[in-house]
Amino acid sequence: MPGVTNDLARWQFATTSIYHFLFVPVTIGLAFLVAVLQTAWYRTDNPDYKRMTRFFGTLLLINVAIGVVTGLVQEFEFGMNWSVYSRFVGGVFGAPLAMEGLLAFFLESTFLGLWLFGWNRLPKRVHLATIWAVAIGSMLSAMFILIANSWMQHPVGYKFNKAGDPVLNNVWALFVNPTFVWGYAHVILASLITGALVMLAVSAWYLRKQQHVESFHRTAKVALIALIPAIVIQLSVGNQLGVIEAHYQPMKIAAAEAQWNSCKPCSFSALQFGGFSQSDQNATQIIPIPHLLSVLATGTWNGPVTGLNQLQTQYQKQYGPGDYIPNVAIQYWSMRVMAYLGSLVLLLALWGGWLLHRRKVGSSRVFLTIAVWAVVTPFLMNTAGWLLTESGRQPWIVQGLQKTAVANSPSVSSTDIIISLTVFVLSYILLGAADLILMLRYSRHGFAQADAEAAEPAADAAEPVLTY
């Protein structure tokens, strides 16, 4: 049953991708913030900054270790479960994926090792450069992956060869692809928000316990200073990304609002019941906000939005018979989970900034309690954003060029995928539990270790100690 096999292959890739993407934003965000802490130590020579660099650097290492393992699986899935797709896009995908592996991942992993083992061995300036190389490498890695993914959303810079497969003929077009430019900015900002909320949550936990107050007040300050501009800019970038997607993938935006028929101007429903399928297009809207969908989708007050029914008719004429409407319920609720939680994070950041200004961050127990639990919000937002992006492209695996239904491997059976999917799920549950236990345990009890490590005598800057 090819259809069942295809659905199972989709479930497997979705499971591994969502799980892997729990770790990626933490790595990017924490790497940047750890580099900021170490820079503060380098500039001030305050041992407290060194202590906090070691502390949060260890949390970064735990996250990287689990994240790398989960990411490797996806490389094999391309060839094993999606061989038809891999052959079709190989002439385009090969370039950014090769650059990610040979340049970005190599840079990130090599300098992470140098940073880990270079404490008190490398000169301070060189050691500081290694953690910034890690931060840059993680962002470059995300860049090349987003280049490849953005090509699936909006194919550019290619031509068809004699076999009918796309081949790359303009590398620069991949880097200036509008879906990549705004999508990459969106992911980097989401990663900074994730890293800042993780750092803020750990800091708030210690401040509530009145333990190491001075140290964690510093990291709470760093987290808030990073969080406030990141979440404010993210709202603007997210809005612009919506305009870009409405232009190149109008079906995705129409589904995110469950907008079955064209409108001008268009309102945004804060909440609705029903209206999530072709057989149920009549929704009960709760608090419709006039003109907001027009603003989000077109950037104008009275902009038109083409409805799902009209787009379905248009696509059938353009691409032939078929159902071109994605899962509307997933699109609608993913959009609102991301938007509503993002708004709550903005309020939390502004609240924290106000307390920081009044020098009361460490004494507001209500804020500190909420800040601890707010750590779950970026993971929910990131997952919702991934679902919105990838599910909204369906039924296409490459927009307008190849459908998901014909992209999986014909030689892989449903039984093969069920077995491997079961193994992956069980393994990921164990890995997730191990990561959570290690992160929580070190967050609660690792400060003494970081304090001891930070107290080790530094190597002479002119004559670094080398060990073999």
pLDDT tens digits along 228-260: 999 999 989 988 998 898 889 999 999 988 889
Residue 317 has pLDDT above 90, yes or no: yes
Residue pair 207/362 in contact by the 8 Å Cβ criterion: yes
Q: What is the pLDDT of residue 449?
A: 64
- What residues contact 197, with CB distance under 8 A and at least 6 apart? 223, 227, 345, 374, 375, 377, 378
Model confidence at 316, pLDDT cuts 50, 70, 90, reads very high
Domain-embedded: residue 391: yes
Based on the fold, state whether residues 73 and 207 are members of the same structural domain: yes
Domain-embedded: residue 463: no
Token pair of 409 as six digits: 């491997």
Residue 284 has pLDDT above 70, yes or no: yes
Q: Distances in Å between the alpha carbon of 329 and those of 140, 223, 269, 276, 350?
A: 33, 34, 14, 5, 32
Q: What is the mean pLDDT of residues 181-194?
A: 95
Based on the fold, state whether residues 396 and 278 are members of the same structural domain: no
SS (H, E, C) 230-282: HHHHHHHHHHHHHHHHHHHCHHHHHHHCCCCCCECCCCEEEEEECCCECCECC
pLDDT tens digits along 80-95: 888 888 889 888 888 8
Model confidence at 467, pLDDT cuts 50, 70, 90, reads very low
- What residues contact 33, with CB distance under 8 A and at least 6 apart? 56, 195, 196, 199, 222, 223, 226
Domain extent, residue 318, equals 250-326
3-state secondary structure of 342: helix
Q: What is the pLDDT of residue 202?
A: 93
Q: Give me the count of residues in the chain.
A: 468
Based on the fold, state whether residues 172 and 291 are members of the same structural domain: no
- On the CB side of 7, CA atoms within 13 Å amount to 4
The structural domain count of the chain equals 2
Domain-embedded: residue 464: no
Q: What is the mean pLDDT of residues 165-177?
A: 91
Model confidence at 455, pLDDT cuts 50, 70, 90, reads low
Based on the fold, state whether residues 215 and 270 are members of the same structural domain: no
Model confidence at 462, pLDDT cuts 50, 70, 90, reads very low
- Taking every pair of C-alpha atoms in the chain, what is the biggest distance, in angstroms? 75
Based on the fold, state whether residues 301 and 190 are members of the same structural domain: no
Bridge partners of 288?
269
Q: Which of 326, 349, 369 is the last residue of a domain?
A: 326
Residue pair 166/401 in contact by the 8 Å Cβ criterion: yes
pTM of the model: 0.91
Token pair of 215 as six digits: 């140290």
pLDDT tens digits along 81-136: 888 888 898 888 888 888 887 788 888 888 999 998 988 889 999 999 999 999 99
Mean pLDDT of the chain: 87
Q: Distances in Å between the alpha carbon of 186 and those of 3, 217, 256, 443?
A: 34, 28, 18, 28
Residue pair 325/278 in contact by the 8 Å Cβ criterion: yes
Domain-embedded: residue 466: no
Q: What is the mean pLDDT of residues 456-465?
A: 46
Token pair of 329 as six digits: 């319920």
Q: Please tell me the least confidently modeled range out of 101-115, 393-407, 432-446.
A: 432-446
Based on the fold, state whether residues 116 and 208 are members of the same structural domain: yes
Share of the chain above pLDDT 90, in %: 46
pLDDT tens digits along 16-73: 888 888 889 999 999 999 999 999 999 998 988 998 999 999 889 888 888 777 777 7
Based on the fold, state whether residues 228 and 255 are members of the same structural domain: no
The DSSP output letter for 105 is I
